[in-house]
Amino acid sequence: MPVKIQVEDYHFYFGDHPVLKSVSLTIKTNEVFSIIGPAHSGKTTFLRAINRMNDDADNCRHEGKIYIDRKDVYTIDKNILRRRVGMIFATPIPLPGTIFNNVAYGSRLKGIKSLNTLRNLVEKSLRAAYLWEEVKDRLSDSALRLSGGQQQRLCIARALAVEPEVLMMDEPCSGLDPISTAKIEDALRKLKQEYTIILVTNNTKQAARVADTIAFFLSGEMVETGTPEAIFTKPKDKRTDDYIAGRMG
């Protein structure tokens, strides 16, 4: 499979504090690339480095390169980059407003005005996020009235409606019950046919269930990458083994 995202010797600092230390990895097109690791190991910062959301923070700097389709992300306009690389946050954050307006938000930013086009996009995205059947009759209801799991799927639909190439999810199931989690995982398996997915998760079992490749992060270092089988059965690094076995984190 072709390479989608290439990260080369990437360092990131908040002030003097190094958050990411020499991270290098390769993410292939149409795979679910899962990042596991304990809290404060730089997983979220890594995601935010890819779509340059870290740029907006104060007092930080980076070294190294991140390429998407062999283009340095710093040569791409950041608003266009963020349309190509969608992001889903740990807590679902619906904007106040209707379900329809939430999903259509990003497309409207792109300048799509035709209600017909928007309707089609909204339906397509909600279907892809496995939410359409539950909300199709109440698209003009407030998004805030949906349940937590529905809100998170709404956020996925909202990211999909921008028609990105890569979908980054930052612990999307951390606040959800097992049934909502299962629905999101179903959506993920389907979505990877069209998108490249980067999934940050605290839940190693979830990574085992859905990932094609797993990377283990620890204190800002990328310790090792491999297939789920490799990581879970014969990890190369002792620290990976400790984490998987539950002796740490």
Partner 1 sequence: MAKSTFRIRPIYTQRMVRVGLWLMTIITLAVLFFIIIFILVKGLKVINYDFLFSLPLHMGKAGGIVSTIIGTIYLTALAILVATPLGVGSAIYLTEYTKENIFTKIIRFGADCLAGIPSIIFGLFGFILFVIKFGMGWSILSGGLTLAFMILPTIIRTSEEAIKAVPISYREVSTALGGSKWQTVSKVVLPNALPGILTGVILSIGRCIAETACVIFTAGSSLRLPTSLFDSARTMAVHFYILTREGISMERAYGTAVILIISIIFVNFIAYWIMYRFIRRMGGYAG
For the bound state, the minimum distance from the C-beta of residue 196 to partner 1, rounded and expressed in Å, comes to: 16
Are the C-beta atoms of 34 and 213 separated by less than 8 Å? Answer: yes
Closest to partner 1 by CB, 164 or 228: 164
What are the φ/ψ torsions at residue 174 (nearest 5 degrees)?
-65, -30
Closest to partner 1 by CB, 200 or 222: 200
Measuring CA to CA, how many Å separate 208 from each of 24, 109, 168? 22, 36, 17
Query: What is the chain's length?
Result: 249
Closest to partner 1 by CB, 74 or 186: 74
Closest to partner 1 by CB, 45 or 213: 45
- Whole-angstrom distance, CA of residue 95 vs CA of residue 11: 33
The DSSP letter of residue 98 is B
For the bound state, the minimum distance from the C-beta of residue 218 to partner 1, rounded and expressed in Å, comes to: 26
User: CB atoms < 10 A from the CB of 5, how many?
Assistant: 23
For the bound state, the minimum distance from the C-beta of residue 1 to partner 1, rounded and expressed in Å, comes to: 26
In terms of phi and psi (left: phi > 0; alpha: psi -120 to 50; beta: otherwise), the region of 13 is beta
For the bound state, the minimum distance from the C-beta of residue 46 to partner 1, rounded and expressed in Å, comes to: 15
For the bound state, the minimum distance from the C-beta of residue 82 to partner 1, rounded and expressed in Å, comes to: 4
User: CB atoms < 10 A from the CB of 87, how many?
Assistant: 19
Within its chain, how far is the Cα of 114 from the centroid?
29
Closest to partner 1 by CB, 110 or 136: 110
For the bound state, the minimum distance from the C-beta of residue 95 to partner 1, rounded and expressed in Å, comes to: 6
Closest to partner 1 by CB, 86 or 149: 86
Report which residue type is found at 236. Answer: K
Binding site for partner 1 (CB under 8 A): 51, 53, 56, 58, 79-80, 82-83, 86-87, 89, 91, 93, 95-98, 105-106, 108-110, 141-144, 155, 158-159, 162
Q: What angle do CA 12, 13, 14 make, to 5 degrees?
A: 135
- Whole-angstrom distance, CA of residue 6 vs CA of residue 14: 23
